[in-house]
Amino acid sequence: MIRSLLYVPASSEKFLARAHERGADALILDLEDAVAPQEKLAARARLKDAVPSAGRNGAKVFVRSTMRKRRAAPAPSACSCQKSMPRPMSAGSTRI
């Protein structure tokens, strides 16, 4: 059960380093509103180490990122340490 959520700006090494100490049930590493546009690429690159570090006291870790049709650069496979999520199904498809 998730009772508390903590948003952490993925661009702040200081906040990322101590996020696991805050006692939240889930941590949301934010790549959007909390990150200045010029820092977004560096924040994305930092995710590979930040995700396992943030969850080391048992908190669930989520990454908040908006998918856009055009990106300055492709996002790295930052969450390769996590189980892959099922792909969303289209309205016309069914799962057996």
Q: What is the pLDDT of residues 26-60, one digit of tens each?
A: 999 999 988 999 999 999 999 999 999 999 999 99
Q: Pick the residue with more confidence: 6 or 77?
A: 6
pTM higher than 0.75, yes or no? Answer: no
Q: Which of 29, 42, 17 is nearest to 79 (CA)?
A: 29
CA–CA distance, 62 with 51 (Å, rounded to integer): 8
Residue 85 one-letter amino acid: M
